[in-house]
Each structure stands twice: as structure tokens, then as C-alpha cells.
Structure 1
Amino acid sequence: MTPDYEFYTDVYFGNQITKADFPRLIARASAYLDGICNLQSAPPESAKMALCAVAEAWQTNEQGGDVVSQSVGSWSKSYAQKKIKTDDVRLTDAAKLYLGQYCNLTVRWV
């Protein structure tokens, strides 16, 4: 049920994750979703879409948060973690988009 890179680019229409980073990020997304969902109960297409969304959210978390500024001359890029959107919230929001009715996404462990 795990999506491959072609699914990510051709069906999910993702463009944020490189082919080299995809296996690592999809593995982390799968582990995360396994902890909050029974992916077997979700339609396969929804599960794959959720895995792609969570993989992108995971990558954003690894980069330190959302991009807040970029420059072209003397290249610069800045990320900021918004206090209202924690790493966990970013991941669960991505999962909710495709699996809201199949997962218990209201309980958060601290």
C-alpha cells in the first residue's frame, strides 16, 4: 500500500520531495500514520495520498518549519516554526486531509 515515487509525482502531483529523499520520508510518514491510524481500514488511494501529504509535512518539519523568506541575489532561505502550528499539528493536518474519518486524530500524546 506504500506509494512509490511515480505515484507521488504523477497521482499526488507532488514536487517538494526529491527521488533520493522519498524512501526515507515515506518510511517516516508510514511509521507516523501507523501510530495514529489503521491504514488497512482506509481506501488504498486515500492511504497513499495521506502518506504523501505526511511525507511532505515531515520534510517541512525537518527543515525547521515553513519558509518565511527567500532571496535570489546572494541566495538566502529562511524557515520559521509558527507557534500555532507545531510539528505534530502539521503532520496530523496533512493526515486529516485524506484520512479524517479513518483515524483518531483528535488525541495527541505529549
Structure 2
Amino acid sequence: MVGDPFTAYGRARERSPIARVLTPGLPPLWTLTRHEGARAMLADARFAITSGSFLRPDVPEDCLPYMRTMSEMDGPEHLRLRRLVAPAGRRRSRRGSRGRRPGTSRRIVQDLSAGLAGG
């Protein structure tokens, strides 16, 4: 699947509307292979995403808070973060920042390097 995901997913769609997927480091999971099924599932409240919905790899307990995503947040917490990141996702904003990215990235790497070197 990794080498040619389009062909692999195409075959899975032809065979069945649902497929069992094996992913290294995680237990087997089921995935919907067709658009209609995915839309129906996303509209069904029984499949709402909650903090208990996510499978976590075997990591130390103290690392788990750092693996949390916005998808796991509800209500005000999610809305606050979404409002913070939404402007960066707008096409006009991305286009305007295109020229700044290399310099910004370079500065971040330099700052990290200096911090690791004790400077």
C-alpha cells in the first residue's frame, strides 16, 4: 500500500465498502473504502470523535499530553485554537507568506542549534 496507495485503495473499494487495515505499531482497524459510506459515518452522531476515539502507540504516560490533537478537543478549547490557526490556512495568507518561510525556518533552526549548543 505504501508504494502505490491509489492502486491499493482502488482494489479495496472494488472488493468491499469496508476493509481491515494493518498498521505497524497499532492494532488492526477497519476503514470505509467508499465515499457514500464515509459521508454516512461522518453524519452519524454515534461516530463522533472524542478523546477516547484515538489509538495511541505505546509511549510513556508523561508523553501522552503532547500527542493530543485539535480533533480531540471540544467546545471552547477547540474553537480558541481553530481561530488561532485559521488565518494561516487561508490561500491569501499562505501566498503572502511564501517568501518569508525560508528565512523564518532558517532562523528557527539557528535558534534551536544555538540553544542545543548552550549558546
* Interval containing the TM-score (normalised by the shorter chain): under 0.3
Length-normalised TM-score, structure 1 = 0.24
Which structure has the highest helix share of the two? 2
Length-normalised TM-score, structure 2 = 0.23
If asked which structure has higher relative contact order (CA below 8 Å, sep 6+), I would say 1
